Amino acid sequence: MTHSVSKKRKRRAGFGRVAAFILLVCAIAGVAYFCIRDKEPLKIIYPQKYSVYVEKYAERFDVDENLIYAIIKVESNFNPNAESDAGAKGLMQLMDATSSECAKKLNVTADPFDPEDNIMLGTYYLSVLIDSCNSTYNAIAAYNGGLENVKRWSKDEYGELSDIPFGETEEYVKRVLDAYDNYCKLY
């Protein structure tokens, strides 16, 4: 008798796990449906913070606004005080040398932690990379891995990259493109 009670308990436990799994799948499907049907929850994850500055400098330097938002999202998640272990600062995570060089070319003084200054310098730098690489994809890789590396990785001088040997840069490009895709769908 104990043996048959044990089998019944196992079956009930198995049924309970299956039922819990089915409920979980239904809950995930419900949330996915809600998010697809109503974009507002996703807009919380992919906000358009600092839109006045993004719009201003996107137009000035001819860079897609959604690309700027995607880079800010991936770089700092919209934290103007973000600072990496490597020393990159602000919303668009600019290194001091890059900030200084861009500020000099634009003939401005800038604070990398000031949202407007950081977006101005970061967008300008991104526009330079896009022009230098003749490719947004390569420019995104260069934003993280450096322009000289992208030149070296390209099959010809500025061909589209087919392989990025730096895992961090490869992952970065994927994350930015994913965020960009989400921004394009949402806005």
Residue-wise pLDDT for 109-129, tens only, equals: 999 999 999 999 999 999 999
Residue 65 among the catalytic residues = no
Q: Which residues of the chain have pLDDT under 50?
A: none
| Helix H or strand E segment including 151 | helix 147-153
Whose tokens are 């436990």? That residue is 13
Vertex 101, ends 95 and 102: CA angle to 5°?
90
Q: What is the pLDDT of residue 122?
A: 98
Taking Cα atoms as reference points, which of 180, 164, 52 lies closest to residue 119? 52
Q: What is the pLDDT of residue 14?
A: 57
C-alpha pair distances (Å), 85 with each of 95, 104, 150: 11, 25, 23
Vertex 96, ends 105 and 77: CA angle to 5°?
105
| Token pair recorded at residue 20 | 């819990």
Q: What is the pLDDT of residue 134?
A: 86
Yes or no: say if 100 and 112 are a contact pair by the CB < 8 Å rule. no
Which residue of the set 75, 83, 116, 168 is catalytic?
75
C-alpha pair distances (Å), 68 with each of 16, 97, 182: 47, 20, 13
Q: What is the pLDDT of residue 42?
A: 92
